[in-house]
């Protein structure tokens, strides 16, 4: 393939991936809309401000935001075509992502243990589904990241790995943006209002 053809393939992949992200945005929009409707249906149970621990969620948020920074640095390394740096930053990103996921699971387990599980009220169903869907996306992102690290290690920077790394970075940033909305609407808003 010559240079323009390579670029064309990359642009095509990226456009396709942007479209996929747009559709994923709509998926989250539906879940947010549901949360907006059901967020006050406590069914006699606790409300949002009673069960969420803001400092804990802030910690989660900072970890995920930092992972976005390191993911960005991995892309910078990609532009510099520095394989070791790419692998290093991807590793840091993945580690932070895994830490985030562990904290989220801890939050879920604690809530369920306290009797605030997803079966307790419509509010909690909507909460667990919205946040859990984000967590599921992060898990998929982590698996993908592992795969990409193996690929970069194995084959180096080919057109294919480069393209896939760009898509992965997009995906990771997207998850970060969704989390900012979750943080604001699900955790922060009930405290402020």
Partner 1 sequence: MNIFGKLSLDAIPHDPVALAGVVFMFSAGIAALVALTYFKLWRWLWEEYLTSLDPKKIGIMYIVVAVLMLVRGMADAGMMRLQQAISVGDSFGYLSPEHFQQVFSAHGTIMIFFVAMPILFGLINLIMPLQIGARDVAFPFLNSVSFWLFAAGAGLINLSLVLGEFSTAGWLAYPPLSELQYSPGVGVDYWIWALQISGIGSLLSGVNFITTIFKMRAPGMTLMRMPIFVWTSLSSMVLVVFAFPILTATLSMLALDRTLGMHFFTTDLGGNVMMYVNLIWAWGHPEVYILVLPAFGIFSEIVPVFSQKRLFGYTSMVFATAGITFFSYLVWAHHFFTMGAGAKVNAFFGIMTMVIAIPTGVKIFNWLFTMFRGRIIFSSPMHWFLGFVVSFTIGGMSGVLLSIPGVDFELHNSLFLVAHFHNMIISGVLFGYFAGITYWFPKIFGFKLNENLGVYAFWCWIVGFFVAFMPLYILGMMGATRRLDHYDASMGWQGLFIVAGVGVCIIGLGVLFQVLQMYVSIRDRKKNIAGADPWNARTLEWSVPSPAPMYNFAHIPHVYGRDPLWARKQGIEHHEPPYTDIRMPKNSPLGLLLGLFGFLFGFGIIWHMYWLVPAAALGAIVCIVVRALDEHTEETISAAVVERIERANPSVTV
By CB under 8 A, name the binding residues for partner 1: 8, 11-12, 15-16, 19-20, 22-27, 29-31, 33-34, 37-38, 41-43, 118-123, 125-126, 128-129, 143, 147, 151, 158, 160, 164
- Determine contact, residues 158/164, Cβ cutoff 8 Å: no
Residue closer to partner 1 (CB basis): 12 or 110: 12
**HEC profile for 43-82?**
CCCCCHHHHCCHHHHHHHHHHHHHHHHHHHHHHHHHHCCC
Residue closer to partner 1 (CB basis): 66 or 159: 159
Compute the least distance from the CB of residue 67 to partner 1, in Å. 22
Neighbour-count burial of 139, counting CB atoms closer than 10 A to its CB (0-12 exposed, 13-18 middle, 19+ buried): middle
Residue closer to partner 1 (CB basis): 47 or 53: 47
Compute the least distance from the CB of residue 135 to partner 1, in Å. 14
Look at residue 80 and give its three-state secondary structure: coil
Compute the least distance from the CB of residue 141 to partner 1, in Å. 14
Residue closer to partner 1 (CB basis): 45 or 72: 45
Instruction: Give the C-alpha separation, 140 to 135, whole Å.
Output: 9
Compute the least distance from the CB of residue 77 to partner 1, in Å. 21
Compute the least distance from the CB of residue 72 to partner 1, in Å. 23
Instruction: Give the C-alpha separation, 48 to 52, whole Å.
Output: 6
């Amino acid at each position: 393939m010559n240079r323009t053809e390579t670029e064309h393939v990359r642009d095509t992949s990226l456009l396709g991936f942007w479209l996929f992200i747009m559709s994923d945005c709509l998926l989250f929009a539906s879940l947010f809309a549901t949360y907006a409707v059901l967020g006050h249906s406590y069914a006699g149970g606790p409300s949002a401000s009673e069960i969420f621990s803001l400092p804990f969620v802030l910690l989660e948020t900072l970890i995920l935001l930092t992972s976005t920074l390191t993911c960005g640095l991995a892309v910078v390394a990609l532009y510099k075509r520095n394989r070791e740096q790419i692998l290093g930053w991807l590793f840091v990103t993945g580690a932070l992502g895994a830490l985030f996921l562990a904290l989220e699971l801890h939050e879920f387990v604690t809530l369920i243990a306290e009797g605030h599980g997803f079966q307790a009220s419509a509010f909690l169903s909507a909460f667990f589904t919205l946040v859990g869907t984000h967590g599921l996306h992060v898990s998929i992102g982590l698996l993908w990241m592992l795969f990409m690290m193996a690929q970069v290690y194995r084959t180096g920077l080919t057109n294919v790995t480069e393209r896939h790394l760009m898509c992965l970075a997009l995906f990771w940033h997207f998850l970060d943006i969704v989390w900012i909305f979750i943080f604001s609407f699900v955790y922060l808003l009930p405290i402020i209002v």
